[in-house]
Structure 1
Amino acid sequence: MAKSATPKPAEPPALKRRQQFAQTYQMARKSDPTIGRWVLGAGLVGLVVGFAVFWLIVGRNSVIGLVVTIVGALMLATLAGLTVFSRRAQRAVYGQMEGQVGAAAGALGLLKRGWHVDNAIAFTKQQDVVHRVIGPPGILLVGEGSSARLKGLLSAERKRHERVAVDTPVHEIVVGKDDGQVPLPKLARHVQKMKRQVQPAEITDILARLKAIDASRPILPMPKGPIPTSMKGMRGQMRGR
């Protein structure tokens, strides 16, 4: 009789969340030393405002009202602190990522379900990178690096995808601060706000068609330097939960 493998005990989700929160805080604090004071201040303001509001509504009537007032004030203080933390942490993390190879991949990792991201489908020796996103707007080719070198790289990838995914909209996005480019901190939001031109059922067909491109694509060495992935782990905090 074969021995059944003993599953390893899963790590408690609460512990993982605390670890992610602590990691995010330590990373953000490197470029924003005052983040702790801002979060504490927001929490105190939320506590005072929450207590005053709940006290005026229910707190004066009974002991239960007082309990509800305290609980409500604590919840509002927590929400205010987390909101300030998420915004300042997002700003700090994007500041640290900007200029790194593959920074756009980290930002694209914040996209929710319904989006399919393929990192570094093409790049140059100078570490100009093109990522691919499949979603409701169609096919998005996201380039980061030198705009002059990306022009030819994006054009070649666009033609390659249009030959396979006929009638599917193909969009080019260049990440940067120049005119016509999308700043890194606004990349995920910019992608999500693009016009919906493809139905969910069509996305499955597009992904199947693109397998032909990926199968014929030579195995390319990854550009030097790690592609940031910490943004994915920070998704909860950066959405202000």
Structure 2
Amino acid sequence: MAKNDKAKEPGRLKTMWQVFQMTRKLDSLALPLMILAFIVPVALTTVLSLLFTESLLLKILWIVTGVVTGVLLALIVMGRRAESSAMKQMEGRPGAVGSVLKNGLRGAWQSSEMPVAVNPKSQEAVYRAVGKPGIVLIAEGTESRTQKMIVDEKRKISRIVPNVTVHVLRVGEESEVKLAKLTKTMRRLPRTISKPEVIQVTNRLASMGNLNLPIPKGVDPRKVRAGRPR
């Protein structure tokens, strides 16, 4: 049993290698930028060690520091390029917003990969998140086909939590927010409630019932995850 589990779960190095391979295929600039991020600190510390110290031990320490810094910078570059590549892959696909909300929001935010409303024909959907800015409704699709769902959802919310601010964002064709900038845009919204109030609002909205709506076909959030650089 343990052997089967090990086979199913790749190690960290293997996962990083897979991310690197995927990113290199999707982004031609990823590898050159990673090489540059590695070389610059190594070259800089090497030059500084030759100019400012005569001790062999100190020179080695300087160079080792440069190598470690270079590796860390290269990994950061890879993480950012991988995130950008993943977003480009998901752009315009049903369910992309749910995946981003699940993997990209942190802190006081309460959200779900499950939409609160779905157009069964077009697979366009509306998602809901609760945070310090209040309630955020994210429409995934064209404005004409998601507007009614937004209006219906706002009406339901007004009955449960009438005094909480409701923001509406749109992601999709000719949208006001690009998928890659969705979570950043949400975090920049003006704060209107506290963290305890976020939990209270989330609990009250839960009383609206679990609609058991399916994730729109097109994106499997278990397989398509945007990398989060540390």
Q: Could you say which TM-score interval applies, normalised by the shorter chain?
A: 0.7 to 0.9
Distance of 1:164 and 1:172 partners within structure 2: 18
Pairing partner for 1:148 from 144, 157, 171: 144
- Match of residue 112 from structure 1: 106
1:67 to 2:63 alignment: no
Letter in 1 for 2:198: I
Distance of 1:72 and 1:102 partners within structure 2: 43
How do 1:77-226 and structure 2 match up within 5 A? 77-108=70-101, 109-119=103-113, 120-125=115-120, 126-176=122-172, 178=174, 181-215=176-210, 217=211, 219-226=212-219
**Is 1:137–1:195's contact at 8 Å kept on the other side of the alignment?**
yes
Q: What is the alpha-carbon root mean square deviation over aligned residues?
A: 2.7
Shift of 1:145: 1.2
Structure 1 portions without partners, runs of 5+: 1-6
Give a deviation string over 1:102-142, Cα, whole Å, max 9, x none: 11222222111321112212110110111111111111111
- Match of residue 14 from structure 2: 19
Pairing partner for 1:37 from 32, 42, 47: 32
Query: Which has the larger displacement, 20-29 or 163-172?
Result: 20-29
- For the structure 1 residues 22 and 233, does the alpha-carbon distance in structure 2 shift closer, same or farther, using more than 3 Å as the test? farther
Distance of 1:76 and 1:70 partners within structure 2: 10
Shift of 1:168: 1.1
Task: Tell me the number of residue pairs that the alignment of Structure 1 and Structure 2 aligns.
Answer: 224
**What TM-score, normalized by structure 2, do the two folds share?**
0.84
- Match of residue 43 from structure 2: 48
- For the structure 1 residues 233 and 151, does the alpha-carbon distance in structure 2 shift closer, same or farther, using more than 3 Å as the test? closer
Letter in 2 for 1:214: G
**What TM-score, normalized by structure 1, do the two folds share?**
0.81
Structure 2 portions without partners, runs of 5+: none
**Is 2:161–2:204's contact at 8 Å kept on the other side of the alignment?**
yes
**Is 1:31–1:96's contact at 8 Å kept on the other side of the alignment?**
no
**Is 1:106–1:230's contact at 8 Å kept on the other side of the alignment?**
no
% identical aligned pairs: 28
Shift of 1:229: 4.0
Q: What SS is found at the alignment partner of 1:173?
A: strand
Letter in 2 for 1:96: Q
Distance of 2:54 and 2:20 partners within structure 1: 40
